[in-house]
Amino acid sequence: MARVNLRAAFMSGAASTVAAQQVFTNRVDEVAAFGRALDGLDQALDEAEISPVADRVQGRRNVLTFYGVGGIGKTTLSHELERRFLADAQATNRNDVVSIRVDLSEDGASDIESLLMRLRSGLGQLGSRWPAFDLALASYWARAHPGEALQEFLDASPAVRRASRSIGLSEQMASSLQLVVPSEVGGLAGLAQRAALGTYRAIRDRVREGRLLSDCELFAELIEADADYETLSFFPYLLAWDLERQPRRGRRPRVCVFLDTFEVLGNRTDRIAERFVQRCVYLMPNVLFVITGRNRVDWADSSTRGELDFTGPECWPYLHFSNDTAEPRQHLVGYLSASDADSYLREALTKDDEPAMPAEVRERIISGGQGLPLYLDLSVSHFVELLARGRQPSVDDFGGSFTAVATRSIRDLPQEERNLVRTAALIDRVDAALLRAGQPSLPDGCVARFLRRPFLTHDDAYELPYALHVALRQAISEADRTLPDGWSDADRSQVAARLLRHLGERLGPSAGRTTTAQALESGLTLSGTYGVFDDWMARATQRLVAAGQWTQIGAGLTASAADTPEFRAIRAAIQGVQLRRTGRAPEAVEVLDGADANLSSDSLTAQLVRLHLAHALRNQGDYTRAAQIYRELTEGEFGTAARYWLCDYDYLNGRFAPALATLRNQASRDAADEGERLRLVGHIWRVNARFGEATDAYTEAIALAHGEGLAAAEAKALANLAQTACWAGDTATVSEAAAQARELLDLVPNPVELVKIRSAEAVASAMSGNPITAREAISDTRRLTDEIGYRGGHNLADVADILLGVLAGDPDGARRTRSDLDERTRTSGGNTYWVPIVTSWIDGVERAAEHSPAVDWVDGPAASLGRWAEAVASR
C-alpha cells in the first residue's frame, strides 16, 4: 500500500482547601467563561454540517485558555473548574461527562505515548469500545516496542497506571483486539513479540482487504505508516472518531481535558513536544481543552508557522488576540480585587462564624499582596503560626513584598524545619527519604511534621510526591539570603550534592526508564543550578539513550554561572545524541568535538562525550578517527561498547583473527549485547567460508533473541542465516529464514536487512542454477540500496553479479564488475575482503592471496580462499 504524508493528510481537506476554594469562588468571570465555552462547543458541533473530526480544515473552537503570572491561582482555578464540571454532571444525573487532567510539569507528561494513554484511559469512562484507536495502537506498539508488553508500559508510570486501572483499560483494549485476532490475545500482558506480530499482521491484512474500519478515513494510512512518534501524534484523530460513535443518551457526551502548567512546553529549546500536543488538541475538536499557564497561547499567530503545524487565525479563530467576546477564548487571569481578597481572608480563618483576622490586619495583607493569591495563602499560614505560639498577631507582623512574606514563613518554622524548607526549595519534588538525605542529622519525626505543612502540595502519582509552588521556591531561595542563619552558596551546593547522590542511589539495576528519567531530570537541574555533579548521571544518560529514550533527556536544560565542566559536557553529549539520531551527524560532531576539553581523560562524562563523538564520526563516514576514539575507551566504563565497535572495524577491514580473539573473550552485559557478539562472530566465520560455524553462531543468536523478545535482533540474525545458507544453494533454508525475517521486519522495519535478504536470494538462485531469478533479485537489491542510500548493498549485488558471470563462463564480465567492487570498497574503507574472495573464483586462489591490502584470514589465505573457490567450483 502506498505511503502517505501523514502531516499533509491531517492538515488538509476534509494550599488549605478552604482558602483555595474561596480564592477561586470569587473568579466570577472565569467561571462564567468556562460555562459559555462548554455550551459554545456543544452548539458548534451540533450545528456543523460536516463534523470537524472529518473536515480537518474547519477552524477549531475547542480551546479555553487562562494565563497569568506565577502564584496568581491558575492551578487552583483549573482544579475548581474541574470540580464544578463533575459536580454539575452529578447533580443532573449525567453519566456521559468525562474529565481528564494532565499537569505538563510532571515528568514524562508531554511524552506522546503517555499523553495518549491518559486520554484513552479517561475516555474509557464513557464505554469500552474504542476500536479505531485500540487497533491502531496495538499495531503501532507491536512495531515500536517489540518484545515489550503494553501492560508493562501502563504500569511503569504512576499517573498512567492510576488512570488506566481505574477503568480497566487493559481489559477494554484486549476486548477490541479479540474482534480481530481472538486466538492471539489473552490480555495486554501477553501482547509481546509473537502475539504482537500476529496482531499487527492480522490488522494490516484486513485493512488492505478493506474489511476493517473502512469508513474511518486515514485509518489505513495510520496502520501502514512507520511506527514512530510522528505517526503516533496523529492518533488523537482516531480517539475523536471513536468518540463521535459512542452511544448517545439523548445528548452529546461532554469531555473536558485540563492541561495545566502549559508554560513547561514553551521553556524548551524546540517546540517538538508542543507540536505533538497541539496535534492532539486540533485533531480532537469534539473535546474542550482548558489550558492554564503563564503565557498566552500563540497558535493563532502567523509567526509560529514552521514551528507548529496548525497555525493562524483560520485554524484557531477564537484564540486570536482580537477576539474578546466569543467563547472559548483566551483570558488573562488577573490579580484578585481588594474586595475579593478581603472575602478570602475573612472566610479562610473564622472564629465563632466571624473572621478571625482583624480588619486592620486584613487591610495590611491586601495592601502588600496586591491580589496575589499565593501571597494571601502564605499570610494566612503566618497568622496561624503566630496563634499557635500563643501570640496575638498584629498589623506589624504582616505586609511587605512577596519575598518578605516568604522570609516570615521561614522564620515561623523551627530551626530543623527551616533547613528542610530550604532543602525542598532546591529541587522540584521531594519525599521523606530525599529530605533525610539532604538533612541527615534530623530525626524522622521532624521530617514527618514538615511534610504536613500546608505550603507543600502532595500527589502520590509521583515517586517523589511532595512539592513547593515554583514561585515559593524562588522566593524562599531569595529570602534566605537575608536571614541571619541563611545558607551560603556553599551550603546550598553541599546539600544539593547530597540530594544528587541520593537520587543516584535510588537507581538500582531494576530501575525502570520512567524512574531513571525522573531522577536524571532532577539531577540535571541540581547540577546546572548549584554546580554539583555525580557520575551516575552519565550512566543514566547512556542507559536512556540505549533504551531509545533520547528524545526526552534534558528537555529545556539550562545552565547557570555555577555550572561545572562536567555539566557542560553532559549537556553537549545529550545534544550530540539528539542531533545524530535525527540524521544530523556533522552537526553532532561539531557539538561533541572538544566538549570534554576541560575534563580529565578518565572522567566518566568525558568518556560519554567521546563515545558519542565516535558514533557520530562513524555515521559521518570517518571510520579511522572513530576507531581511534574507541581504542581510547576500551578500558573505561563504556569499554564493552567500544570493544564491540573496534571488532566491527577490524572485521570491515579484514582483520579477522584479532577481531575473533577479542570477541571470544568479551563478556556481554545483557542479552542484546550477547546477540550482537554472536552475530559478529558469525560474520567472521561466514566471510572465511566456514559456513558451519557461522550457522551455529547465527542459530544461537536467533534462539537468544527469540527467547528475550528482541524482534529486531532476531530479524538481523535470520537475515544473516540466509546470507550463509545461500552459498550452499540451500534455497529451502534461505526461503524459510527470509520469510521469518520479513515477518519480524513488519514489526521493526529495517530496510538494510531487506537488502541483505534479497542479495542472499540472488546468490541462492545463482548457486542453484536459476540465473533469471538471480538477475531479478540482484536488480531488486540495487534498487532497494539506492532507495535507502545504503552503499554496502551494492557490494553485495556486485558479489552476486560476479558469481553469475563466473558460473555463466563470462570471466571478462566478472572482472569488470570486480573492478567496480574494488574501487567501491577502497573508497568506503571497508569490506575489501570481497575482492580476493571473488578473485579466487575468477583467477584462482594464488592470485587472490596476492591482493592488497592483505586480509588476515582466520586460518590463512590458502585455506579460506580455497574453501571459497571450492564452493563455487562445485556448481
Which pLDDT belongs to residue 22? 39
B/e letters for 688-698, b = 16+ CB within 10 Å, e = fewer, are bbbbebbbebb
Instruction: Specify the pLDDT at position 773.
Output: 96
Whole-angstrom distance, CA of residue 646 vs CA of residue 101: 49
C-alpha cell belonging to residue 507? 537507581
Q: What is the pLDDT of residues 276-318, one digit of tens each?
A: 999 999 999 999 999 998 888 989 887 777 788 999 999 999 9
Tell me: pLDDT of 17 over 50: no
Is residue 851 classed as helix, strand or coil in its secondary structure? coil
pLDDT band at 455 (very low <50, low <70, confident <90, very high): confident
Mean pLDDT, rounded, for 8-24? 44
Residue 628 burial class via C-beta count within 10 angstroms: exposed 0-12, middle 13-18, buried 19 and up: middle
Least confident piece of the model among 413-427, 736-750, 808-822: 736-750
Q: How far is CA 516 from the centre of its chain?
A: 13
Which helix (H) or strand (E) is 176 found in, with range?
Answer: helix 169-178
DSSP secondary structure string, 253-303? -EEEEEEE-THHHHTSSSSHHHHHHHHHHHH-TTSEEEEEESS---TTSGG
Report which residue type is found at 689. Answer: A
CA distance 253 to 286: 9
Within 10 angstroms of residue 201's Cβ, the number of other Cβ atoms is 17
Interatomic CA distance for residues 818 and 822, integer angstroms: 6
27-36 mean pLDDT: 86
Q: What is the pLDDT of residues 707-740, one digit of tens each?
A: 887 777 899 999 999 999 999 989 999 999 999 9
Query: Rounded to whole angstroms, how far apart are CA atoms 341 and 81?
Result: 19
Q: 558: pLDDT confidence band, cut at 50, 70 and 90?
A: low
As a whole-number percent, the residues of the chain with pLDDT over 70 amount to 90
Q: In this predicted structure, what is the pLDDT of residue 789?
A: 64
Amino acid 772: pLDDT: 95
pLDDT one-digit tens code per residue, 225-249: 888 888 999 999 999 999 999 988 7
Share of the chain above pLDDT 90, in %: 45
Cα distance between residue 143 and residue 139, in whole Å: 7
Residue 760: pLDDT band with limits 50, 70, 90: very high
Q: Encode pLDDT of 318-352 as tens digits.
A: 998 778 788 999 888 876 778 778 887 888 888 88
Residue with cell 530525599: 434
Name residue, grid cell 518578605.
Answer: 404
Q: What is the pLDDT of residue 399?
A: 80
* Position 709, amino acid: G
- The whole-number pLDDT of residue 21 equals 32
Mean pLDDT of all residues in 805-834? 90
Q: Of 82, 129, 88, nearest to 257 (Cα)?
A: 82
What kind and span of H or E run contains 355?
Answer: strand 354-355
Look at residue 2 in the predicted model and tell me its pLDDT.
43
Span of 196-210, 527-541, 721-735 with lowest mean pLDDT: 196-210
Query: Which of 283, 205, 288, 139 minimizes the C-alpha distance to 131?
Result: 139
How high is the mean pLDDT of the chain?
85
Question: What is the DSSP code (8-state) at residue 354?
Answer: E
Instruction: Provide mean pLDDT across the span 371-388.
Output: 79
Say how far apart CA 519 and CA 255 lie, in whole Å: 33
Cβ–Cβ under 8 Å, residues 328 and 37: yes
Overall average pLDDT of the 421-447 stretch? 93
Please report the pLDDT score of residue 151 as a whole number: 79
More confident residue, 120 or 8: 120
Edge-to-edge order in the sheet of strand 97-103: 97-103, 254-260, 288-293, 63-67, 330-332
Residue, of 199 and 18, whose pLDDT is higher: 199
Q: In b/e form, how buried is each residue of 738-762, taking b as 16+ CB within 10 angstroms?
A: bebbebbbbbbebeebbbbbbbbbb
Look at residue 485 in the predicted model and tell me its pLDDT.
85
Tell me the mean pLDDT in the region 638-647: 87
pLDDT at 191 over 60: no
Contact predicate 191/149, CB 8 Å: yes
For 769, half-sphere exposure in the C-beta direction (CA atoms, 13 angstrom radius) is: 3
Residue 580: Cβ-neighbour burial (10 angstroms; 0-12, 13-18, 19+): buried
| Residue 691 to residue 804: CA distance in whole angstroms | 20
Q: Are 448 and 432 in contact (CB under 8 A)?
A: yes
Render pLDDT for 86-130 as a digit per residue (tens, 0 to 9).
Answer: 999 999 999 999 999 999 887 778 888 889 999 999 999 999 899
Q: How far apart are CA 521 and CA 570, in angstroms?
A: 12
| Helix or strand holding residue 524 (H, E) | helix 513-530
**186 pLDDT above the threshold of 70:** no
d(CA 97, CA 589): 52
Give dist(CA 422, CA 479) in Å, integer.
10
**In sequence order, what DSSP letters do the residues of 394-434 get, joined into one string?**
-GGGS-S-HHHHHHHHHHHS-HHHHHHHHHHTTSS-B-HHH
Rounded-to-integer distance, Cα 687 and Cα 693, Å:
11
- 3-state helix/strand/coil string of 638-678: CHHHHHHHHHHHHHHCCEHHHHHHHHHHCCCCCHHHHHHHH
* H or E element, residue 758: helix 751-767
For residue 410, is pLDDT > 70? yes
Set of cell numbers at residue 557: 536544560
Quickly state the pLDDT bin for 183 (edges 50, 70, 90): low
Better-predicted residue by pLDDT, 493 or 157: 493
pLDDT of residue 20: 30
> Nearest-CA neighbor of 232 among 240, 245, 223, 241?
223
- Residue 219 backbone phi and psi in degrees, to 5: -60, -45
| Burial (0-12, 13-18, 19+ Cβ within 10 Å), 724 | buried
Q: pLDDT digits over 245-264, tens only?
A: 998 877 889 999 999 989 88
Instruction: Kindly state the average pLDDT of the residues 649-662.
Output: 90
What distances in angstroms separate CA 208 from CA 130, 204, 221, 227, 457, one per listed residue? 20, 6, 10, 17, 51
Q: What is the pLDDT of residue 583?
A: 56
- Separation between Cα atoms, residue 852 and residue 839, nearest integer Å: 12
Whether the per-residue pLDDT at 185 is higher than 60: the answer is no
CA distances in angstroms from 712 to 142, 721, 806, listed in the order given: 11, 14, 35
pLDDT at 15: 35
Local confidence band at 196 (pLDDT 50, 70, 90 cut-offs): low
Any idea what the Cα angle at residue 453 is, between residues 476 and 109, rounded to 5°?
75
Instruction: State the Cα–Cα distance between residues 268 and 336, nearest whole angstrom.
Output: 31
Q: Can you say how many angstroms the Cα of residue 349 is from the centroid of all Cα atoms in its chain?
A: 46
Residue 577: closest CA among 608, 535, 623: 608
